[in-house]
Amino acid sequence: MASRQQQAQLTRKKILDAALELFNENGFDDVRVSDITDKSKTSKGAFYTHFNSKYEIFLEKFKEIDDFYLAFEKEHAALDSPALFLERLHLAQARYLRDELGKDTVRTIYMNLLRPSEKNFVSDPNRPYFQIVKRQIEKGQQAGTFRIDLPVESLSSQWAKAIRGNVYDWCAHDNFDIEEELKQLMNILLDGIKA
Amino acid sequence: MASRQQQAQLTRKKILDAALELFNENGFDDVRVSDITDKSKTSKGAFYTHFNSKYEIFLEKFKEIDDFYLAFEKEHAALDSPALFLERLHLAQARYLRDELGKDTVRTIYMNLLRPSEKNFVSDPNRPYFQIVKRQIEKGQQAGTFRIDLPVESLSSQWAKAIRGNVYDWCAHDNFDIEEELKQLMNILLDGIKA
DNA sequence: GGCATTCAGAGACCAAGGTCTTTGAAAACG
DNA sequence: CGTTTTCAAAGACCTTGGTCTCTGAATGCC
């Protein structure tokens, strides 16, 4: 028989695959842990040895978003206006959230990030998103188009938080055109960080 | 015996009082619905005829914040710089959230606002907070200090959402000085909405 | 007053996320 | 090898928010 470790990895994968498929079909709230263990022919015991919660396994889906950011940066490396870069990045992000992930997924993530037990992966400063924003703002500072009375860290973290407020509200409402709203916000923010 | 309606109101009050007291002592997550019904000498049936969820009753506590905003506006009516008014308002707000309500309460509210069933009371544009912000921004526009290429509605709603992003992050993290962070954000935002 | 109807309230019940105990095979040991 | 230890996995069990059914007193109607 396969080694214990190999077997465990296989079980983990079976659970993960089943879960992601079910989440895609029915959304987080309409998938029971028992649905996942049934579909993957495993058990609660197996589920909770590999994942700490139903939410944690759901996050796996969200992590793809980092690939999106990295791909965007690569694709737009030629663009040398940081302001323009940031604007396009976030409009693309808005479409990605809306069309690829879907409001329901984002809502679930934003909700669960506030659970006391969670360590907040989304606003981890090491994530590609922050690195990219930071690089652009630094570039703008060096070019003299962005203000330098506040450090890059402050400007970029404030930028990110303002954007997050917009995404949060989008999750909480119907009739909210996130692309349009983000455009407006960035209009203001860019004015606020210009030299 | 008291009329049915009177009796019902009394029961409602008993539940509400017991609940708020328990929430204050132990926080939302550590209070069971059964704790509330035990303390108030009522029952699940009574609880759910008067409130739709454990969260809904918790919101009652939060609604006091509107009194805070109204009091602030009254107290600072003499201040005629909208920029200064907004800055002071939000620093006072930061302290109120931190010292009066507490991070845990705010976190719970921000979490539950994203529940699909909730109608978002917090970002209801009729709330005093929005009215106050809107009035100040309008005042600034009329005085020629704030930009007029975007309508008051846009400026104020973007303002509110950016602030909300900051509060959200404060809830999600330890080691986050909300007063300092808000100061920084407003520095940028005010620059962004100035004429 | 007598009868039908309504409705606040009690509490059994249900659903579903998460925990605990148990088991049996694989690894480690000698 | 034989024995002990470890540990993935199974599934019974617990917890707790919320629902459902039932009851009995207040209200409405004649």
Cβ atoms of B58 and B23 closer than 8 Å: yes
pLDDT per residue over B133-142, tens digit each? 999 999 999 9
Is B29 within 7 A of strand C by CB distance? no
Helix, strand, or coil (residue A120): coil
- Is pLDDT above 80 for B117? no
Supply φ then ψ for residue A76, to 5 degrees. Answer: -110, 25
pLDDT digits (tens, 9 = 90+) for B7-17: 999 999 999 99
CATH number for position A36: 1.10.10.60
Q: Which of A147, A162, A171 sits opposite B114 (nearest CB)?
A: A171
- Flag if A123 and B172 touch (Cβ within 8 Å): yes
Last residue of a domain, one of A35, A58, A81: A58
- Asked if A104 and A54 touch (Cβ cutoff 8 Å), the reply is no
CATH at A158: 1.10.357
The pLDDT of residue B66: 92
Query: Domain check: are A50 and A74 in the same one?
Result: no
Which position has the token pair 């934003």?
A110
pLDDT of residue B136: 96
Find the CB nearest B154 among A147, A164, A184.
A184
B134 and B152 Cβ atoms separated by less than 8 Å: yes
Q: Are residues A24 and A42 in the same domain?
A: yes
Distance CA(A7)–CA(A42), nearest Å, equals 12
**Total Cβ atoms within 10 A of residue A61:** 18
Instruction: Name the token pair of A52.
Output: 């700490």
Q: Are B185 and B162 in contact (CB under 8 A)?
A: yes
Give the C-alpha separation, A129 to A89, whole Å: 10
B14: Cβ under 7 Å from strand C? no
Do residues A46 and A15 make contact, with C-beta atoms less than 8 angstroms apart?
Answer: yes
- The helix/strand count (H/E) of chain B reads as 10, 0
Instruction: Report the candidate in B66, B58, B153 with the shortest Cα–Cα distance to residue B111.
Output: B58
A39 CB and strand D closer than 7 A: no
User: Please, which residues have CB within 8 angstroms of residue A30's CB and are 6 or more apart in sequence?
Assistant: none
Q: Check whether residue B68 and residue B115 sit in a common domain.
A: yes
Name the average pLDDT for chain B: 93
At B62, the pLDDT band (50, 70, 90 cuts) reads confident
Dihedral pair phi/psi, residue B107, rounded to 5°: -55, -50
Same domain assignment for residues A86 and A123: yes
Are A36 and A94 in a shared domain? no
Q: Smallest Cβ distance to B172: which of A113, A158, A169?
A: A113
B155 touches chain A (CB under 8 A): yes
Quote the pLDDT of residue B46: 97
Give the Å distances, CA to CA, from B6 to A21, A175, B11, B13, B28.
Answer: 53, 41, 9, 11, 29
The answer to whether residues A112 and A88 belong to one domain is yes
Residues 17-76 of B with CB within 7 A of strand D: 31-34, 44-45, 48, 52-55
Give how far the C-alpha of residue A137 lies from the chain's centroid of Cα atoms, to the nearest Å: 20
Decide if B123 and A189 are in contact by the 8 Å CB cutoff: no
For residue A11 the two structure tokens come to: 């079980």
What is the model's pLDDT at position A14?
A: 97
Residues A83 and A136 in one domain: yes
Shortest CA gap A82–chain B (Å) = 17
Contact between the CB of A10 and strand D at under 7 Å: yes
Residue B18 has pLDDT above 80, yes or no: yes
Amino acid, res. B193: I
Q: How far does A1 lie from chain B, in Å, by closest CA?
A: 45
Residue B109 has pLDDT above 70, yes or no: yes
Same domain flag for A46 and A137: no
Cross-strand pairs, B146: B194
**More confident: B60 or B85:** B85
**How far apart are alpha carbons B53 and B75 in whole angstroms?**
36
B33–A contact, CB cutoff 8 A: no
Put simply, whether A191 touches B (Cβ < 8 Å) is: yes
- Same domain for B38 and B111: no
Residue A153 half-sphere exposure toward CB, CA atoms < 13 A: 3
Amino acid letter at B138?
A: E
B46 touches strand C (CB under 7 A): yes
Under the banding of pLDDT at 50, 70 and 90, the label for residue B60 is confident
pLDDT digits (tens, 9 = 90+) for A159-174: 999 999 999 999 999 8
Say whether pLDDT at B118 is over 80.
no
Of B20, B39, B58, the position where a domain reaches its end is B58
Q: Do A28 and A75 belong to one domain?
A: no
- Chain B residues in contact with A168 by the CB 8 A cut-off are 110, 114, 161, 164-165, 168
pLDDT classification of B61: cutoffs 50, 70, 90: confident
The residue ranges of chain A whose pLDDT is under 70 are: 1-2, 118-119
pLDDT surpasses 90 at B64: no
Interface size between A and B, measured as CB pairs under 8 A: 114
Contact A165, B163 (CB under 8 A): yes
Mean pLDDT to the nearest integer, B50-77: 93
Query: Which pair of tokens denotes residue B19?
Result: 């609940």
Q: Which residues of B touch A185 (CB under 8 A)?
A: 158, 161-162
For tokens 């870069």, the residue is A85
Tokens of B130: 């929005």
Where helices occur in B53-121 by DSSP H, the ranges are: 54-62, 65-75, 82-95, 103-112
Please tell me which residue of chain A has the smallest CA distance to B154: A184
Query: Nearest nucleotide by C1' from A48 CA?
Result: C18
- Please check whether residue A44 touches B, CB under 8 A: no
Q: Token pair for residue B37?
A: 């019904």
DSSP string, B9-69: HHHHHHHHHHHHHHHHHH-GGG--HHHHHHHTT--HHHHHHH-S-HHHHHHHHHTTHHHHH
pLDDT of residue A125: 80
d(CA A188, CA A90): 14
Domain residues for A30? Answer: 4-58
Q: Within this chain, do residues B161 and B69 fall inside the same structural domain, yes or no?
A: yes
Whether residues A52 and A68 fall in one domain = no
* Residues A145, A88: Cα–Cα separation, whole Å: 17
Res. B1: pLDDT tops 70: no
| Helix axis angle, B152-172 to A178-193, nearest 10° | 90
Residue A164 contacts B, CB cutoff 8 Å: yes
Q: Is the pLDDT of residue B94 over 80?
A: yes
Structural domain ending residue among the three candidates A58, A73, A97: A58
Residue A41: count other Cβ atoms within 10 Å of its Cβ: 11
> Once rounded to an integer, what is the mean pLDDT over residues B173-184?
94
In this predicted structure, the answer to whether residue B124 has a pLDDT above a threshold of 90 is no
Domain count, chain A: 2
